[in-house]
Amino acid sequence: MLNSQVHTNVINLHLWQAMPTLVGMERWSDYVRAHVEGTQREFALRVGVGESTVSRWLAGQVQPTAGQVIKFARAVGKSPIQALVMAGQISPEEGHMAVTDLGLGDLNDGTILEEIARRLAAKR
């Protein structure tokens, strides 16, 4: 179990280091995408925001408010501090945490399949 967790943390660290140019909004859209389950409408209702808000988050068109980020985190069972870091509202240093949360276990099946398809298409 410990080796698996260390391996996951190393992979997450490498993923984070490989994306140093991501700004808060792009990180946020990836973070939201990793946690959306069901339809956007169902997810929006669970979070307590409009469906169009979720759509704009996923498209990277709008930055969430701190209040929306906290509602999101509570709805998906994640730390509000972690979500605020991913949204670019606070820095990892301000949150006293490393941004390493997106392990395979945190991703839904659709996100994993999309990534596999993207990688296969890139190799062709």
Cα 39 to the chain's mean position, in Å? 17
- In whole angstroms, give the CA distance from residue 9 to residue 106: 12
Closest by Cα among 24, 20, 36 to 78: 36
The model carries a pTM of 0.60
pLDDT digits (tens, 9 = 90+) for 53-110: 999 999 989 989 999 999 999 999 998 998 998 898 888 888 775 555 566 777 778 8
> Which CATH architecture fits 2-123?
Orthogonal Bundle (1.10)
Rounded-to-10 torsion of CA 38, 76, 86, 1: -110
Check residue 25 and give its pLDDT: 59
Predicted pLDDT at 97: 59
